[in-house]
Structure formats: structure tokens, C-alpha cells
A and B are shown apart, each in its own frame.
Chain A
Amino acid sequence: MRWRVWLDRLIVLVILLAAWQAGSLWLGNYWLSSPWAVATRFVASLLNGEMLFHASYTINEALIGCVIGGVPAVLLPFLLRRQPIVVAILDPFMVGGYGAPKLAFAPLFILWFGIGIESKIALVAAVVFFIVYFSTLSGVRALEPKLVQMAQVVGANERQVGRHIVFPGAVPAIFAGFRIAVPYAIGGAVIAELISSNRGLGYLVQTGAMNFDTTQVFVAIVAATIIVHAFIAVVDLGERFLLRWRPRGASLIVDHGT
């Protein structure tokens, strides 16, 4: 059945490209670049190193931002597991941070951290942190008290309960958080570059738009999309390895069985 899925995907892709091509013919190449033009430019930019130059910058921002935002977001719910009052105190602020439009902070970050890579990393980290924090928190809270009691009865201390019961139980939620956060991380990096930068996919979008070069805008968007796919594939790979104990096709919520 697997080849069938891939075949159907290919059909959908062809339909999308055909629609795009038709739209481009209808509206004119000037307004809507054609898939063919985008593909040739994409390959050309790959060959002359321009793509690597810009994409690697964006990938770096996204990766470093994911680490800086993601690591504390994973650790915090574990550290606060025994402090429900602190979690409750922090809650409205976390919800505020989660709900605030982070992209609107981009100009501020540029003001604070300069137009270099730091401001982009800061934006990505801010976006990733709240998504992963709430996802991890839900995983820590979904903890099965009976498993904790079992562990305590056989002699596990608090630290061991955290390591052997709470953490493995929360891993699916952590991965779910990163999976949701990845597109936002790439998007955040691109937007920050759009506002002020001299390198990166966002810079390509910006300069392309300024020169009425829609082909270049599309090349950058396609590249960003491919990067998101690659990031998610890496997350999936890690998830499949760490969650090999799960029955195939299991839902996000861990089934602790009866």
C-alpha cells in the first residue's frame, strides 16, 4: 500500500503544479512566476552556491533557536513538577507569552540584539519555547499516578520517579510539541530576516519582492518548505527511535494499559 500512497501524492503534486502553471499563464509571469521558472532558478541557485549561502543561515537560526528555546521548555515542567503552586503562579504569564504575537516582537529583538543572527535566534527561541513548554507540561500532567505508586512501593526515590516514570511518559508530548514548533521556528526565522537582514531565505524574499522578481520569492518559499519537511523528518526519526515501545498507530496519548 505504501507505493500507492506515494503515487497518489505524486498525482496531487502534479495537479498542484499544473494549476500553478495555468495560473501563471493566465495572470502573466510577472505577477505569478511559473513552476518551471522557479525550478530552473532553484537548481541554478543550488549550483552557484547562493541557495546554500542563504538556506544555511536560516537553518542555523532555526536550529540554535530550537535548542535555546526548546531545552528550557522541556526542563521547566520537570523541575516544577513538585511545585504546582509555582506552575499556577506562572500560568497566566505563560499563557500570555504563548498568546502574544511573537512576530510582532521581531522589530524589538532587532533593536535589542542587532541585525545579525542573534535577533533571529531570539525570535525563534521565543516562538519555540512556549509551544514546547505547554506540550511538555501536558505530558508531565498526564502522568499515571498508579505507575508512580508502583515505583515508590518498589523503592524508587523522587529522582528515580522523575527519570524512570515521568520523563518516558512525557516523551510523546515533547515530540508532539517540537513537531508543531518546527514550522513556526522556520517561519519565525524567515520573518525576522524579512524585516532586516543581508542574508537568509527571508532576505531572498525581501530582495525578490523589491525587484518584482516573483520567481526569487517563490524559490525562497519552496526552500523554506523543504527545510520544514526535513526538520519534521528528523523529529519523526528521533520519535520512532525513542518511542519504539509504542504499539504502531498509537495515538498521542500514552496508553498505560490495564
Chain B
Amino acid sequence: MAAPMLDIKELGKRFPARTGREPPPWIIQGMSFSVAAGELLTIVGPSGAGKSTLLNIIAQIDNASAGEIVFDGERIAGSDVKALHPGLNRRIGYVTQDDNLLPWRTTIDNVLFPCEVQGTLDDAARARAQELIGAVGLTGFERYYPHELSGGMRKRAALIRTLVYDPPMILMDEPFAAVDAQTRTQLQQDLLRLWSLKRKTILFVTHDITEAIALGDRSLVLTQRPARIAAEHPIPIPRPRNVKDIFAMPNFATIYERIRADVQ
């Protein structure tokens, strides 16, 4: 097997102690897993299990308290790595739970924001942005401000803002949790279509078992705090998948039951 894109070894996280208090509990402890290049790995865990904390550490917004992380052969977190490099020099994209669109920028300017700060804003970037806007059905809304868009549209804009600069790995933190069921199905289908074109390495965190099955090549289940990997489930459902009819796949129910049994 080729070297994994992302390798997490014995990762631990606890927030700094406040003076005069008990040392805080571990949020994540002894967590190990790896993500292969081009894989779409989903992680299922209950709310408050430390999923966002895990992604923040990988995205280099937050530091690890123990263990190490190797990304593309390079140690990015560990006892000897001190400084944080958010986004690891644009190699790790992060689609957060909140869309974090800039309210003072229109859709197109939000999507192009990464290119603008990276100094890669040229005609090619504009064409790519326009293509992505078309791919997720935002055509006609380029000049709208975020407050004029629906929740689902904002999620799409946030998603393609990360795709536009093409980072090799993308982290997704329940990006579709706050939208209605029908929009969510559509967004999941959009994501699968975009992923099938580019085969990015994606780490997708969710508390929704159906979503984890519909999207993932493989699914990891987290324990309650402190978070560890409780179980690993391959998802042998052939692609291309139809998210709307994922329930009808012959082995869906079996996989669902197995994962549900592991989610505490």
C-alpha cells in the first residue's frame, strides 16, 4: 500500500489548564488513523465528541497536545513541531460548519477570495470560479451578497470557495448539517459529482450515519470523549452513487446497523 496522504498517530488534545483548577480532561486521546490519497473518508461521532477539534488540529488552526500528524510525508504536528501554519500553505482546505462567507463580498468575490490573497487571481481563476458556480447551480447569483442567499446556497458558495484553489486535501466539518433534508441530499450529490471529477483526498466529519455511508469509501466511528477510533467500516457500495436512493442499496441496511451499534 502506498504511503497515506494523512497519517495520525496517537493524537491527543486537552485545552490548557486554568490556574488553580484541575487539569482539564482529554478531548482526544490515543487517536490513530490514516487517509489514503484520493480517498473520501467519513468520520461519524456524537455531538461534542471532539470532531471539530480534530479537524482544527489537522488544519493547523489548533495545536495537538500529544502524538503526531504526518501529511504527505511531512511531520506537521508532534513534540518537535511548534509553529502552526493554518491551511499548511494552502495544501489543506477546510470547509467549516459555519459557511464563514465574508458578508461584505458578493458570491463571486467570496469564491475568488482565496485566489485574491494567494495572488493567483487571473482569467483562468475567474473561469474556474464561474465553472464551479455553474456546477453547483449558483449561476445568476454571482453578484448577490451572502445575506441575500439561502442557507443551502451559502453552503455551496463556501464549498466551491475551497475547491477553487484546488488544495490536495480537504477537511469538511458537518458542512451540510444546518440545511433541510432535501437540500442536504442535493449538496451531497453535488459533492460526490465534484469529487468524482477531481478525486481529492477528503476527510468528512458528520454525526449523520446515512451521510457517512452515502459519501464515504470508508467510515470511522468515534467514541465519546475522550475521542478515539471505536471502529472502522468499509463501505462497499459501488460508485457512482445516487444519494437519494442510497437506502435502497442492498447492503445499506447492514452497514447502517453495524455503524449504529458502534456509535454510543
Contact = CB atoms under 8 A, between A and B. Distances in A.
Contacts of A23: none
Contact of B87 (A152, A164, A169): A152
B117 A258 contact: no
A245 B107 CA distance: 11
B51 interface: no
Nearest to B101: A257
B105 A153 contact: no
A254 interface: yes
B102 A258 contact: no
A153 B147 CA distance: 23
Interface size class of B (residues with CB under 8 A): 20 to 34
Contacts of B165: 154-155
A147 B99 contact: no
Contacts of A256: 100, 103
Contacts of B59: 153
Interface of B: 59-61, 86-87, 89-90, 92-94, 96, 98-106, 113-114, 116-118, 145-148, 154, 161-162, 165, 178
B99 A258 contact: yes
A202 to B, nearest CB: 40
Contacts of B113: 151, 154, 164
A243 B105 CA distance: 11
Nearest to A144: B100
Contacts of A49: none
A51 to B, nearest CB: 41
A168 interface: yes
Contacts of A157: 117
A160 B93 CA distance: 18
A146 interface: yes
Interface of A: 146-147, 149-157, 160, 164-165, 168-169, 171, 243, 245-247, 254-258
Contacts of A151: 113, 117
B100 A146 contact: yes
Given A156-B117, A160-B117, A258-B98, 19 more contacts: A147-B102, A149-B86, A153-B94, A154-B87, A154-B117, A154-B118, A155-B90, A155-B114, A155-B117, A155-B165, A164-B117, A245-B105, A245-B145, A245-B147, A246-B103, A257-B99, A257-B146, A257-B154, A258-B178
A161 to B, nearest CB: 9
Contacts of B117: 151, 154-157, 160, 164
B87 A153 contact: yes
**Cβ-closest 9 pairs across A and B:** A153-B87, A154-B114, A152-B86, A156-B117, A150-B100, A245-B104, A168-B104, A247-B147, A155-B90
Contacts of B162: 154
21 contacts: A146-B96, A146-B98, A147-B102, A149-B61, A149-B86, A149-B100, A150-B96, A153-B93, A154-B114, A155-B87, A155-B90, A155-B165, A160-B117, A168-B102, A169-B104, A243-B104, A254-B103, A257-B99, A257-B101, A257-B147, A257-B154
Nearest to A167: B104
